[in-house]
Amino acid sequence: MTVAFVLGGGGVRGAVEVGMLRALIETGVKPDLVVGTSIGAINGTAIAADPTTSVIDTLERAWSSDAAGAIYGEWWPRQLRRLAKSRTHLNSAEPLRRLLEDFVGERARFEDLPVTLAVCAASIERAAETWFDSGPLIDPVLASCSVPAALPPVEIDGEHYVDGGVVNSIPLSEAIRRGATTVFVLQVGRIEEPLKPPETPADVAKVAFEISRRHRFFRDRDEVPEHVDLHILPSGGSQPGDEKLGAFRSMEHTHRRIEAAYDATAAYLRDAGVAS
């Protein structure tokens, strides 16, 4: 049996994955394989580096740190000055780089991790989904979570990459392709929320983006082979303000997200009979 954790994208809502990981580890479930996209690549790096209960404290501290707030919560005038200078992005990637280096070290390589990790990024030049699973670790993870316009593209070996959520937001099929037979999907809750026709220009952008995010996951879910045991973990529900277009940058409900996801996932695992 090969156990895979699939960690999807979703900005600040990725805090729910910390609660899910806590419930999984406390239940005795540990991964043989971790695949991640965007914020899931960051959380996935942490669990692949330390698949024990101690990583939960590390992640909770990271999510409540000044560095986490600086990734999206930087002062607006400073963001606008950076946009005017760069013409491509609002935020600096340096706080995120420092966060990752705190997890694994500046010179970390995929091969150093005790659990196999693969992260997804989108190649600009090839317009292609790209998976990184060997060599230097930090830049591929940064590439996986480089949200267009929010963070700059990351150059790796002469090629430029942006957020993996552009091509594969919840990479279920990749875990199965790599041999997973039991899969736990850690998703941020958007797939649990119904879509409705847009009523405002902001709604148009949000609905279009959500369709593009969700359709592949739903297709991949429906095509899971019979021999694969699939668990899609519950997020614990949305938080106030999640419906707003700018919710991706609000860290206000981080602790609440973690606790709600932990409670919901712990209950799911008990009901599903998942235990060590």
Dihedral sign (CA 43, 44, 49, 54): positive
Predicted local confidence at residue 87, as pLDDT: 62
Residue 126 backbone zone (phi > 0: left; psi -120 to 50: alpha; other: beta): alpha
Token code pair at residue 95? 């706080």
Rounded mean pLDDT for each run of 10 residues along the chain, 276 residues in total: 96 93 96 97 97 93 76 57 58 82 93 98 97 98 88 95 95 98 96 92 86 92 97 88 52 83 97 82
User: From the CB of residue 240, how many other CB atoms can be counted at a distance below 10 Å?
Assistant: 11
Which amino acid is residue 37, in one-letter code? T
Can you tell me which residue has the tokens 């990752």?
100
Predicted local confidence at residue 72, as pLDDT: 58
Reduced DSSP (H G I as helix, E B as strand, rest coil) percent helix, strand, coil of the chain, to 5: 50, 15, 35
Q: Give 9's DSSP letter.
A: -
Quote the pTM value: 0.90
Buried b (16+ CB within 10 A) or exposed e, 111-141: eebebbbbbbbbbeeeeebbbbbeeebbbbb
Which amino acid is residue 161, in one-letter code? Y
- Residue 143 CA to chain centroid, in angstroms? 12
CB 67 within 8 A of CB 100: no
Predicted local confidence at residue 202, as pLDDT: 81
Token code pair at residue 253? 């409900």
* Cα–Cα separations (whole angstroms), residue 43 to 47, 202, 203: 7, 29, 29
CB 130 within 8 A of CB 163: no
Predicted local confidence at residue 247, as pLDDT: 47
Q: Write the CB contacts of 140 (distance below 8 Å, at least 6 apart in sequence).
A: 41, 119, 121, 132, 154, 156, 161
In residues, how long is the chain? Answer: 276
